[in-house]
Structure 1
Amino acid sequence: MIREKSCGAVIYLKKEEQTKYLLLKYTAGHWDFVKGNVETNETERETVLRELKEETAITDATFINGFKETIAYFYRRQGLTVQKEVVFFIIETPTEKIEISFEHIGYIWLDYEHAMEKLSFKNAKDVLQKAHDFLKKRNSKD
């Protein structure tokens, strides 16, 4: 069995007192977060920042400390089973206008409810729910 590790992030911005989440439309047709495979000698956070820049051209990003969510699943590639682990962080950015990479065919900033409807996979919805709850709890302490 092949093992793969990726890292990604729930990206958000604050606009007129509203939290908007960034979703990317992948060429396969699904909506998901920024993410990608960890490269040799790269930390998880370095992976996220590299993928964020490659996939969106966003460079002004701030990690929100205290959130780290790992999901795991299996898929088949060329007849082989792949065990995939994806580690997610939360990142805030002021950048609303992005430049998508060749890996994507669209992007959208949505509030929580609409982002939950738009996301294609249950595990992505679970990550968004946990990230949203984390941010709500964090903001209520401010």
Structure 2
Amino acid sequence: MPKEKSAGAIIYLMKNNVPHYLLLHYPSGHWEFAKGHIEEGEKTEETAKREIEEETGIKNIKLIPGFKEYSKYFFKKSYDLEGEAKKLAPWVFKLVIFYLAETDTENVKISDEHKGFLWLPFTEAIKKLTFKNAKELLKKADDFVSKKSVRGS
């Protein structure tokens, strides 16, 4: 079975002391976080920062120490296929390493990989996310941000 390894980030910015999370709208219709393939020789943190810049145009980003989560899932690699070929597409095991990233840049310039974006507070973002594993990641990230805010760091 083919395998892929990617890295990305759950990006947030504070508005009126409330974290707002950046969700990207993918052409297939789902909403998720910025992520992408790890290039040869690249550290996962470098991949996350590069993908954030490529997919959102955001350069001013701070990866928050202490948050690193793994998302594992299977998907059918059938993006450009149709008909019978789409049915026969191979299943791929994907591992994505997610970081938590803070920015103060609200202006997003999405790449052609996406149809749109939204900055949403947790209660709205959790409803908008498509996949269960993304919702679980957001919950962990929001808990982490809440604890971080209470500690004042």
TM over 0.5: yes
SS state at 2:115 partner:
strand
Residue 39 of structure 1: aligned partner: 39
Residue 84 of structure 2: aligned partner: none
* Counterpart-to-counterpart distance in 2, 1:7 and 1:135: 20
Residue 23 of structure 2: aligned partner: 23
Deviation, structure 1 residue 76: 2.1
SS state at 1:40 partner:
coil
Structure 1 or 2, whichever has the larger Rg, is 2
Pair 1:130-2:140 in alignment: yes
* Counterpart-to-counterpart distance in 1, 2:22 and 2:102: 10
Deviation, structure 1 residue 138: 1.8
Deviation, structure 1 residue 35: 0.4
Taking structure 2 as the reference length, the TM-score comes to 0.90
Taking structure 1 as the reference length, the TM-score comes to 0.97
Deviation, structure 1 residue 77: 2.1
RMSD over equivalenced CA pairs, Å: 0.9
Deviation, structure 1 residue 66: 0.1
Note the 1:1-142 alignment, pairs <5 A.
1-77=1-77, 79-142=89-152
Gaps in structure 2 of 5+ consecutive residues = 79-88
| Residue correspondences, number | 142
SS state at 1:67 partner:
strand
* Counterpart-to-counterpart distance in 1, 2:61 and 2:122: 20
Gaps in structure 1 of 5+ consecutive residues = none
Which stretches of structure 1, 4 residues or longer, exceed 4 Å deviation after superposition? none
State, as a whole percentage, how many aligned pairs show the same letter.
Answer: 47
Deviation, structure 1 residue 15: 1.2
SS state at 1:73 partner:
strand
Deviation, structure 1 residue 96: 0.3
1:94-120 deviation digits (Å, cap 9, x = unpaired):
000110000001000000000000000
